Amino acid sequence: MDDCNPYTVHQAAHEGNVEHLKWLVSHNFSVNEMTFDRVTPLHEACFGGHLACVEILLDNNADINAQNIDGSTPLCDAAARGNVECVRLLLDHGALVNPPALLVSPLHEAAMRGHTECAELLLRAGAKVDAFDCHFGTPLHAACYNASSGCATVLLQFGANVNATKIHRSSLHIAATKNCLALIKVLLRFGASVYARNNQGKLPRELALSAGPVYQLLAHYEEGYIHTYVVVSGACAEVI
């Protein structure tokens, strides 16, 4: 490899090219150079899940909490990709699990994509379970948009407010639109209100497919029949 090497640190990190990255770092190329939208090589390596490149950059003083133009940090990118090892490495090196002034948190990123293991790792590291984002609401809202019953369960086990709302829309409202029976059951088990109304005055049941299993389940809860059975695809299935 010669001094005319055209590779940039960003390219090497993006492609996971360890040898090129080592050469660039050894020749004093900046590991904290930013693109026009403030993306750093560490962002690139984390989003690509290139653990070896992440280690090299961190060992050479890459800014672990750098924020791009959207406020996203490398930890956000690692969580978005569901890369548990990258998330763990960043946390071990002191990445902020609750970065300031973000539009979305690492926990939101994991929850909205259904990365349950990453979500639990972030929560154990102190992520705010009810952190509020102006676009998605809480991480629980984000998990429900993805119909991720696994992430919803972990968030609720860590104390998420099951009845938190964003513009009068609860997690149960969101889950009802997804018609995911498993997710609905999780929310109800943790005390979600079937009587909450959204900004259009609608109950969660009214957002589900009419006469479908989710609609039936929510209707039974509204009527107070919590321990009962509903018909799902012609067979009896226990509600709770």
* Other CB atoms within 10 A of residue 156 CB: 21
SS3 at position 134: coil
Q: DSSP letter at 209? A: P
Collapsing DSSP to helix, strand or coil, 236 comes out as strand
CATH number, span 1-96? 1.25.40.20
**What pLDDT sits at residue 102?**
61
7-38, pLDDT tens digit by residue?
799 999 999 999 999 999 999 999 999 999 99
Selection from 47, 67, 51, 71 nearest residue 59 by Cα? 51
Q: What is the pLDDT of residue 239?
A: 42
| pLDDT tens-place string over residues 93-121 | 999 999 886 677 999 999 999 999 999 99
Q: Write the DSSP string, 168-184.
A: TEEHHHHHHHHT-HHHH
End-to-end distance of the chain based on CA atoms, in angstroms? 64
Residue partners of 100: CB distance under 8 A and separation at least 6: none
- Which residues of the chain, if any, have pLDDT below 70? 1-6, 101-102, 225-240
Answer whether 62's CB lies under 8 Å from 40's CB.
yes
Q: What is the model's pLDDT at position 226? A: 56
The residues spanned by each domain of the chain are: 1-96
Spatial contact of 174 and 143, defined as CB atoms under 8 Å apart:
no
